[in-house]
C-alpha cells in the first residue's frame, strides 16, 4: 500500500523533500512554530503567516524512505550541519529527517564539499591519535 495506517502516524512509502540553504525542509523552517511541534505526533499543520499547510517532521520521519534534495554550493554549510548533527533542537529541520527505513541525501559535489572536508579533518585527527 502507498499509505500505511498501522502505526501511530500514517506512513507513505517514499517522500521527496526539498531543502533551503537555511536548513528548511519542505515548508518547515528553522526555529519556526511548526518545527517546534516535532515529537507531538501531528501530521499536517498550518504554516504561520500564510494560507499554506505543511506536513510535519514527524510525518516526514514516518515515511519508509525519504530522499532529501540539497544541491548547489549555497547549501554546503546546511548539508554539513545536517549530516554532522551539529545543530540545535530546531535550527536545522533537514537534519531532523530520519525515515523509518532509509534517508537518502541527493547532493552534488558542491553541496557536500564542506561535509567531506569535515570528514577528512576527522580522519586526519583519528590518524594523529594512533
What average pLDDT does the segment 99-126 reach? 87
Is the distance from CB of 93 to CB of 30 less than 8 angstroms? Answer: yes
Between the CA of residue 13 and those of 8, 25, 58, 63, 117, what are the distances in Å? 15, 18, 15, 6, 33
The pLDDT score that the predictor gives to residue 74 is 97
What CA–CA distance (Å, rounded) separates 55 from 22? 18
9 band by pLDDT with thresholds 50, 70 and 90: confident
pLDDT surpasses 80 at 125: no
1 band by pLDDT with thresholds 50, 70 and 90: low
C-alpha cell belonging to residue 34: 511548526
Name, in order, each residue with C-beta under 8 angstroms of 9's C-beta and a sequence gap of 6 or more. Answer: 41, 43, 58, 59, 62
DSSP structure class, residue 123: H
The pLDDT score that the predictor gives to residue 7 is 74
Is the distance from CB of 114 to CB of 80 less than 8 angstroms? Answer: yes
Question: What angle (nearest 5°) sits at the alpha carbon of residue 17, between those of residues 28 and 35?
Answer: 20
Cell 517514499 -> residue: 14
pLDDT surpasses 60 at 111: yes
What average pLDDT does the segment 22-45 reach? 95
pLDDT surpasses 70 at 126: no
pLDDT surpasses 60 at 27: yes
H/E run at residue 12:
strand 11-12
Amino acid at each position: 500500500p502507498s499509505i500505511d495506517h498501522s502505526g501511530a502516524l500514517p506512513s507513505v512509502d517514499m517522500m521527496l523533500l526539498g531543502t533551503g540553504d537555511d536548513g528548511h525542509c519542505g515548508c518547515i523552517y528553522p526555529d519556526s512554530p511548526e518545527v517546534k511541534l516535532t515529537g507531538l505526533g501531528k501530521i499536517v499543520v498550518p504554516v504561520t503567516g500564510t494560507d499554506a499547510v505543511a506536513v510535519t517532521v514527524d510525518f516526514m520521519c514516518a515515511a519508509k524512505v525519504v530522499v532529501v534534495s540539497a544541491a548547489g554550493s549555497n547549501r554546503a554549510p546546511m548539508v554539513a550541519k545536517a549530516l554532522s548533527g551539529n545543530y540545535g533542537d530546531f535550527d536545522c529541520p533537514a537534519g531532523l529527517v530520519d525515515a523509518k527505513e532509509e534517508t537518502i541525501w541527493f547532493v552534488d559535489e558542491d553541496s557536500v564539499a564542506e561535509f567531506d572536508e569535515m570528514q577528512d579533518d576527522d580522519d586526519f585527527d583519528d590518524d594523529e591519535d594512533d
